[in-house]
Structure 1
Amino acid sequence: MPSERVVVRNKLSDTVAQKLESLIVAGEYAVGAKLPNEKVLAEEFGVGRSSMREAVRTLEAAGFLRSAHGVGVFVVTDRPRPGQIDQSLLGGITMSDLFETRMAIESKAAELAARRLTDHHAELLRSIVASASDPEISEADFVELDGRLHRQVAEASGNPLLLHMWESISPQFEEYSLKVIGLPGRLQRAHADHCGMVDAILARDSELAARRAHEHVAAVQAELQGGDDARRTVD
């Protein structure tokens, strides 16, 4: 039995559902595939059949799975919709908390980075954006570059406290990014916004850089909340 599928028995069924969802998103259970039966799944995840059954029901309600009576359970999609994403993050933080904090940090960091940009930081920002432009880039690699980009902007601000503040939320940022990167078009919108923000910083336009950093966060927040205003290019 693959060790990565084992779930501690005292966990609730929503933990099992989250793990099963991550395997579906990762492609281990392909769209259209039939899941193993309940007994086999429960053994693979190291939980009781009742917990496994509840986890499957949770993912059916979320639209990932569909039950065919007398036939089995099938994977319907591997792409979460905004309303399906768990909003909780590490340390009891929510995505809403993270967005509010990012609004405070990133706009000012981008503004100061544009004012204080050095040739060294300019080259690093260009390099990160260029790497993220690879059309074959994996979602995991993009998330890693995403975090590096935002940290680099904070470092380029020349304010060590802004950098410290960014680093303090980086675990939650990475967790959030991994949760949302599978949304249709999310990677492309994120990259487009990154390019716009970096262009403004490289042009040393502090007002535009701050605005684009703010819009970058606001648009993805609106998208996750299901707002129509999210139809633009962001992360």
Structure 2
Amino acid sequence: MSSSHVIPAVRRTPPALGETVQYVVDTLTMRIVSQEYGLEERLPSERQLAQDLGVARNTVREALDQVEAAGLIRRRAGSGSFVTFDPEGAKESASAVAAETGPLQLQVMRGIMEPEMVRLAVISMSPRQIEALGETLSQMEAVQVDAMAFVRLEEEFHRQIAAGTGNPLLIACYSLVLDARRQSFRAAMYRRHLTPERIAAYQRGYNSLFNAIAARDIEQACEFMKLGLIEDQKLLLQDG
């Protein structure tokens, strides 16, 4: 499993700026958080970025305004734009957020993200990504009694769906959700409630979800994702 990058909150580009500006914002953000452009490194000039991304210089300039407002760069008159994003500091901040997230808060966030995440994945996943998802499902279906082994595979299954969206911001945000899911309260909850019978029920649900994704059936995939959330909600209520 590849290391994940944590992306800080980026102010959404106002709709009036257009999709092209948002594309440049997303591209620069991903390059910065992946450390293609390291801390204190000078970004390419506006002209170079415009040529690289196939956009106008004024589009790059507007995008840089947004990236600077998000605290990822600092622009120096006559010198250019320099990266201020510190990945180590971001990781520490993300870990703190995950640690402070309670069970119900996590469930609310999952309810917001996961149905839309699977919707985008159904549209965007490549055949190879769907094949890899099927391989993870096969490993999940081989688990009979080991609750924590099942949970680890379940998280990998969700991570692959997030990766299948092809959206770097969504992938990074969902990485934080997974961090919160690994908290001790959830591990304890599964040790108490994830019986072999319940594991089998979850396996059937994930099989249905995978089949919907493979069939590119958006409505069914979203429905099965929501049903999985309901099952987790039931566990939380039992634990309460």
TM-score range (shorter-chain normalised) is 0.5 to 0.7
Write the mapping of 1:191-206 to structure 2, written as runs, cut at 5 A: 191-206=203-218
Give the Cα separation in 2 of the matches to 1:148 and 1:223: 20
Instruction: Go from structure 1 to structure 2 and tell me whether the alpha carbon gap of 1:219 and 1:137 turns closer, same or farther (over 3 Å shift).
Output: closer
Cα distance, 1:153 vs. partner?
0.5
Specify the alignment match of 1:152 in structure 2.
160
Q: Which has the higher helix share?
A: 2
| 2:228 alignment counterpart | 216
Q: Which residue of structure 2 lines up, in the alignment, with residue 134 of structure 1?
A: 142
Q: How far off is 1:90 after superposition?
A: 5.1
* Cα deviation digits, residues 5-56 of structure 1 (max 9, x gap): xxxxxxxxxxxxxxxxxxxxxxxxxxxxxxxxxxxxxxxxxxxxxxxxxxxx
- Give, in angstroms, the shift of residue 134 of structure 1: 0.9
Relative to the length of structure 2, the TM-score reads 0.53
2:208 maps to amino acid: G
Aligned-residue offset at 1:137:
5.8
- CA offsets per residue over residues 158-202 of structure 1, 9 Å max, x none? 222211111012122123542232313332232222212111111
User: Of 176, 179, 202, which residue of structure 1 is paired with 2:188?
Assistant: 179
| Aligned position for 1:107 | 115
Q: Provide the C-alpha distance between the structure 2 equivalents of 1:154 and 1:211, rounded to a whole number of angstroms.
A: 17
What TM-score results when the alignment is normalised by the length of structure 1?
0.54
Secondary structure at 1:204's aligned position in 2?
A: coil
Query: Does 2:155 correspond to 1:143?
Result: no
Shift of 1:103: 0.9
Query: How many pairs were matched up?
Result: 139
| 3-state SS of 1:178 partner | helix
- How far apart in 2 are the matches of 1:119 and 1:154? 15
Distance 1:157 1:102, change over 3 A: same
| Structure 2, gaps ≥5 residues long | 1-96
**Compared CA separation, residues 143 and 135, structure 1 to 2 (3 A):** closer
Structure 1: runs of 5+ lacking an equivalent? 1-88, 228-235
Aligned-residue CA RMSD (Å):
2.2
* 1:181–1:188 Cα change, 3 Å: farther
Change (3 A) 1:111 1:226: same
- Per the TM alignment, residue 226 of structure 1 is displaced from its structure 2 partner at its CA by 4.2
Tell me how far apart the structure 1 counterparts of residues 235 and 146 of structure 2 sit (CA, whole Å).
22
SS of residue paired to 1:181: helix
